[in-house]
Structures are given as C-alpha cells and as structure tokens.
Homo-oligomer: A and B are copies of this chain.
C-alpha cells in the first residue's frame, strides 16, 4: 500500500493499557489501519504510570488527540472483588503454574472495556477493535479466552445499528509471551515505553504476576527487557 493511501485505511480502535501486550497489538493494528487509542482507568493501583505509557505509545504512533479516549470506570473499584482495585486485598507474589483464577481478576472487566470500544467505534465508524488478550499464557482470566471474544462479536452484531460493521480482533490470543516479545521487536513496537507492573510506578517490582510473565517472556525470547526492575525473581536468575 502506498503512503498516499494512508488516510483511506480503515479505522481501528486499539485498547491500550500501556502494557507490552497492548503495545504489540497496536503495532499489529498499525500495519493496515488508522489508529484510535482507548485507555481505561478502573481504579488500579498503578494507573498514573499506565496512563503515561498510553500517551507515550500514542505519541510514538502519532495518534491525534481527537482519537485518544481516556475513560474512568471507578465503579469497578466501587464494586470491588479484585486485588487490582481493592486496597484490602493484597497483590500476591507470582505463581506462574497456578491453575486458579487469581485475586487480581476484576470480575467481567473486559466486557466493560469492549462495550466502551464498541460505543466509541460505532460513533467513529471504526471497523475493528483490537485487544491484546492472551489465552494460554495469561493467568486463566475467563474473559481472556477466544470463545469469550467470539461470543462478544455476536453481541456487537446484534446490539449495534444494522449498518455498523465492527469486529473484535485478538491477534495475540494464542501466542506465548516470548512470541509476543519477538513479534513486538520484529514490528519495531516501542516496548521501552510500556509498563506492566501491577504494584509499583517507579521501577517494576519484578515480583507480581504481570512482571513475572513479562520477564519470563523476554528470557525465553532471548531478548533483554528494556525497562528497569527493582529485583528479578530467583528462578529467572538461575535459568
């Protein structure tokens, strides 16, 4: 595609938390779409740092201010039930082998994010919603599975105007973390601008689930993670 055709490319909304997965997802969407970035604050502990990462990545891809939407879902904290939003529930140390749904699960969170993306996408006339959900390598959140997104696509089809043509894309859904790292490097995704830690905002803790998955992914990809960590788990140092 010639650069002169750039503005005729279809519009895609990308859910950008500011983490690595959403950054690589943006890089994938960027190949064939104009980009609109959606960031949702749901009262998580590290929101300020994630918000900075969102804008840094948006600047990198030259997403205009009019196509950046920041939404606050404070009621998810009001509802509670998750360590990410409820101060009374501590963020646990990582357990990468657990099959349990972790306490960092925010009940039905991705349905809220997708609903916002659909409403905005319908108003903007977007054709795609990109979300960096990962099924196999994630922590067993029920709303990160491909079947969930397939079912949600049916809800979009039935719950929007007949002329609306909007679908969710989950390009990372069956990738391992190390594959996501390699794909990001291949597409020149600005991984150095991303933030993944659930617990800290100055340097990544290296101990929460999210840090642990990320660090293991970089290690398995044979690539150095460009962001600083407070400490790295022993099992990674030994490897």
Q: What residues of chain A have their CB less than 8 Å away from a CB belonging to chain B?
A: 69, 71-72, 75-76, 78-81, 101, 105-112, 114-116, 118-120, 122-123, 142-143, 145, 147-148, 151-152, 154-156, 158-162
State which of B81, B119, B148 has its C-beta within 8 Å of the C-beta of A158.
B148
CA distance A118 to B142 in the complex (A): 13
A119 with B71, Cβ < 8 A, contacts A111-B159, A148-B158, A159-B108 known: no
CA distance A115 to B155 in the complex (A): 12
A161 with B101, Cβ < 8 A, contacts A108-B122, A154-B154 known: yes
CA distance A145 to B154 in the complex (A): 13
Q: Does B72 contact A122, Cβ atoms closer than 8 Å?
A: no
Q: Does A122 contact B147, Cβ atoms closer than 8 Å?
A: no
Q: Does A142 contact B158, Cβ atoms closer than 8 Å?
A: yes
Q: Does A112 contact B107, Cβ atoms closer than 8 Å?
A: no
Q: Does A112 contact B110, Cβ atoms closer than 8 Å?
A: no
CA distance A78 to B156 in the complex (A): 20
Q: Does B101 contact A108, Cβ atoms closer than 8 Å?
A: no
Q: Does B152 contact A155, Cβ atoms closer than 8 Å?
A: yes
CA distance A152 to B111 in the complex (A): 10
Residues in chain B near residue A120, CB distance under 8 A? 79
* 13 contacting pairs across A/B (C-beta < 8 A): A69-B78, A79-B116, A106-B119, A107-B123, A108-B115, A108-B118, A108-B156, A110-B159, A111-B118, A111-B159, A143-B158, A151-B154, A152-B159
Q: Does A115 contact B123, Cβ atoms closer than 8 Å?
A: no
State which of B80, B118, B148, B161 has its C-beta within 8 Å of the C-beta of A159.
B148
A68 to chain B, nearest CB (A): 12
State which of B72, B111, B123, B158 has its C-beta within 8 Å of the C-beta of A145.
B158
Q: Does B155 contact A155, Cβ atoms closer than 8 Å?
A: yes
Q: Does B122 contact A107, Cβ atoms closer than 8 Å?
A: yes
CA distance A162 to B99 in the complex (A): 13
State the 5 A-B residue pairs at the shortest beta-carbon distance, nearest first.
A143-B159, A81-B123, A107-B122, A71-B75, A111-B115
State which of B76, B123, B152, B162 has its C-beta within 8 Å of the C-beta of A80.
B123
